Amino acid sequence: MQIRLPTDVAEFLEQAAKANLTSRNAEIVRSCRERMQAERIRLQAEGIPPSAEGFHTII
């Protein structure tokens, strides 16, 4: 998979990977998982049942 990133995002990703002694890929996965968790929490707070969760809610 190839991803085009804005320069500032690419630089942040590189710095995070170096600081955490991980790869850029690992940082992307971590970031996505954090976003997924935040979305689950938001949906729970809005009273949306887990079965109604879907990727369409993540923009």
Q: What is the mean pLDDT of residues 24-45?
A: 92
3: helix, strand or coil: coil
Q: How confident is the model at residue 54 (pLDDT cuts 50, 70, 90)?
A: low
The Cα–Cα gap between 59 and 56 comes to 7
Q: What is the pLDDT of residue 18?
A: 98
Q: How many CA atoms lie within 13 A of 3 on its CB side?
A: 9
The Cα–Cα gap between 49 and 39 comes to 12
Q: What is the pLDDT of residue 59?
A: 46
Query: Using CB atoms within 10 A of its CB, is residue 9 exposed (0-12), middle (13-18) or buried (19+)?
Result: exposed
Q: How confident is the model at residue 52 (pLDDT cuts 50, 70, 90)?
A: low
Q: What is the pLDDT of residue 14?
A: 96
Q: How far apart are the first and last CA of the chain?
A: 19
Does the pLDDT at position 44 exceed 70?
yes
